Amino acid sequence: MHLTSCCFRPIACAFTVSVAAATLKAQSVRFSVGAGAIVPTSVYGTHDNWGMHVLGAAVVPSPVADLSFRLDSMYSATTHQYGELGHTKIAGGSASVLWRLRSASPNLHPYLLAGIGSYHETETDIAPACNSAYCASSFAQSAHAWSGGGGLELLQSGPAIGWFIEARYVTIQSGTPTNLFLMTLGLVFGTR
């Protein structure tokens, strides 16, 4: 009896993995990559210029119609203003709820999203007199963040590549909150 149950375990495991993979495929997980502008606001905006960011995301549908879950990661860099040498880099990610709005076009999908995440900020200041690594000082911190925004996807029927455009506001709850807008343009991979 023990030998029989040992023989069936690998078969059961293989069946479970196959069912999970088929379910994941049926749920049409979509991946997206994009890049765009980061616009610092509030205190961060008085200290740094606009910069660039890159974004990667995965969207998984839920059992509720027009509701999905999204996991994303982001990396950005901005430079200091007023002739100060240095930069601020932010890296992290968030988990969001994505709500698809109704559209007149079957391929055009507007959406809203809101989420919570965690980001790591590193601010580096360089003394203007020497402009070398030995004259640089850095300050780093990690904190949780809230985000919200909206976007528009253009998706084809079936397996395809589409595109998306998105605007999102992020507030990182450090000592003095770091607030920023992300404007992203990118590609979507997967089925609709």
Q: Which residues pair with 185 in a beta bridge?
A: 35, 165
Q: Checking phi first, is residue 83 left (phi over 0); if not, alpha (psi -120 to 50) or beta?
A: left
H or E element, residue 95: strand 85-100
* CATH number for region 28-190: 2.40.160.20
pLDDT at 131: 59
Q: Are 38 and 76 in contact (CB under 8 A)?
A: yes
Domain locations along the chain: 28-190
* Lookup: tokens for 153: 């996807």
Amino acid 6 reads: C
H or E element, residue 183: strand 178-190
pLDDT at 27: 55
pLDDT at 157: 65
Q: pLDDT per position in the chain (192 positions), as tens?
A: 444 444 444 444 444 434 344 444 445 889 999 999 999 999 999 999 999 999 999 999 999 989 999 999 999 999 999 888 899 999 999 999 999 998 878 889 999 999 999 999 999 988 777 655 567 788 899 999 999 999 999 987 666 689 999 999 999 998 889 999 999 999 999 865
pLDDT at 82: 83
pLDDT at 159: 64
